[in-house]
Amino acid sequence: MTTRLALLRDPMIAVLVLATLAGFVVPAVGEARAGAQMVTNGAIFLLFLVNGMRVPRDEIRKGIANWRFFLPLFIWVFGIMAVAGLGVSVLASSVLPPLVALGFLYLGTLPSTIQSATSYTAIAGGNVALSVVGAALINIAGVFVTAPLFALLGGGEVAQIGSEAIVRIGLILVLPFVIGQVVQSWTHKWVMDRKAKIVWLDRIVIGIAVYVAFSGAVEQGIATMFDVTGWAVLIGLTLVFLALANTAAWLASGLLGFARADRIAFLFAAAQKSVAIGAPLAAILFPPDVAGFAIAPLLLYHLLQLIIAAPLASALAANQRLVGA
C-alpha cells in the first residue's frame, strides 16, 4: 500500500500528464512550434551534457568488464525487445493509426530506464550496483543503437530517417555526452552535490519534449483519431507487451543461471523502457507532426510499468524474506 501511494506521488508521472494535457489544450503550432523546437533541442543538449558529467567512467569500465551480465542484457534490450516491438507494431497496424502502431517498434528499440529500474531493484532486494551500471551502460548504448536499429527494422516506414537525423543525434545527444565525460574530472563532484536539483532537469526536459511532440500530433488531429475502442486496443496491447516483457525477462535470467539478486536486477533493467531517452530522441528523430504519434505507446508503457513494478518489487521482496526465513 505504501509503495502504491509513493507511486502516486511520483513527480515524473505528474510531469508527463501535465505536458500531454498542455499539448492538447494549448499546443505550440505554426511559428510557435519552431521556437519550441529550438528550446527543446537546447534543453536536450544540456541534459546529455550533464549525463556525461554524472556517469563515472570507472562504472562504465566495470560494467563492460562484467560481460556475463551486460552482454545478455544488451541482446535482450536491443534484440529480443526490438523484435517483440516489431511484432506488436505489425499486429497493431490493422487496428490503430499507422504512426501509433509504428510507435510500438520505436518503444521496443529503446534502452532501459535507470532511476526506476534501480529503485525497484533496491525495493525487491536485488543487486543495486549491477542494476545501476547495467542500466547506465544500456542507456549510453541506446544513444548510438536505437535510431539505426529503428530504421533497420522499420524499413520503408521510416525511410525519412537519414543522414540529417543521424547528424542531429550526434550533435545534440552524443557530442554533449562526450564533452561531459571529458570534463567529468572537474565537474562530477559539483553535479553530484546538486543531485536533487538535477533530477528536476531530467523531468523538465522530458516534459518539454513531450509537450512539443503532442503539440504536433494535436495539429495533425490525434484527438479525433481514437474512439473508446481505439484507446482500449492501445492500452490492451501495451499491457500485453509489458506483461510478456516482464515474464520473459524473469524466465531468461533463470535460464542464464543468475543468482536471485542478479535476476532481479536483470528483470527491471530488461523489461522497463526509458522515457528519459525516448522523448528527447523522438524530438530529434521525428518531424514535429509525427513525434506525438510515435511516443504514444511509450508514454503508456512508462506509466503502466511504474504501476506494475511497485507491487512486483514488493512481492519479490516478500518472497525473498520467506525464502530466507
Burial class (CB in 10 A: 0-12, 13-18, 19+), 237: buried
pLDDT at 245: 95
| Cβ atoms < 10 Å from Cβ of 202 | 19
DSSP state of 286: S
Angstrom distance (rounded) from CA 318 to CA 325 = 11
Cβ proximity of 273 and 303 under 8 Å: no
Angstrom distance (rounded) from CA 38 to CA 137 = 28
pLDDT tens digits along 65-80:
778 888 999 999 999 9
- Least confident range from 39-43, 151-155, 158-162, 296-300: namely 158-162
Give residue 223's pLDDT band: very low, low, confident or very high (50, 70, 90): low
pLDDT tens digits along 22-65:
877 888 777 776 777 788 778 878 877 887 787 677 766 766 67
Domain coordinates in residue numbering, the chain: 2-315
Angstrom distance (rounded) from CA 86 to CA 101 = 9
Query: What SS3 class is residue 66?
Result: coil
Question: Which helix (H) or strand (E) covers residue 323, if one does?
Answer: helix 296-324
pLDDT at 3: 44
| Cβ atoms < 10 Å from Cβ of 318 | 12
Q: Residue 104 pLDDT > 80, yes or no?
A: yes
What letter represents residue 14's amino acid? A
Give residue 222's pLDDT band: very low, low, confident or very high (50, 70, 90): low
Q: Residue 225 pLDDT > 70, yes or no?
A: no
Q: Which residue has the higher pLDDT, 11 or 152?
A: 152
Output the pTM of the full model.
Answer: 0.75
Q: Residue 300 pLDDT > 50, yes or no?
A: yes
Q: Residue 206 pLDDT > 80, yes or no?
A: no
Query: What SS3 class is residue 295?
Result: coil
Cβ contacts of 291 within 8 Å, gap of 6 or more? 212, 213, 216, 217, 282, 283, 285
Angstrom distance (rounded) from CA 317 to CA 189 = 33
Best-predicted range by mean pLDDT (81-85, 123-127, 184-188, 284-288): 81-85
Query: 3-state SS of the chain: helix, strand, coil percent to 5?
Result: 85, 0, 15
**What mean pLDDT is reported for the chain?**
79
pLDDT at 156: 53
Q: Residue 158 pLDDT > 60, yes or no?
A: no
Burial class (CB in 10 A: 0-12, 13-18, 19+), 51: buried
For the segment(s) 2-315, the CATH number from 3.40.50.2300, 3.40.50.11540, 1.20.1530.20, 1.10.1740.10 is 1.20.1530.20
Give residue 85's pLDDT band: very low, low, confident or very high (50, 70, 90): very high
Angstrom distance (rounded) from CA 67 to CA 64 = 6
Find cell 563532484 and name the residue: 189
Mean pLDDT confidence for 4-9 = 47
pLDDT at 5: 43
Angstrom distance (rounded) from CA 37 to CA 180 = 23
Cα distances from 209 to residues 54, 261, 266, 311, in angstroms, run 22, 35, 29, 29
Say what the alpha-carbon torsion angle 230, 12, 221, 241 is, to the nearest 10 degrees: -30
pLDDT tens digits along 267-288:
998 998 877 778 778 877 777 7
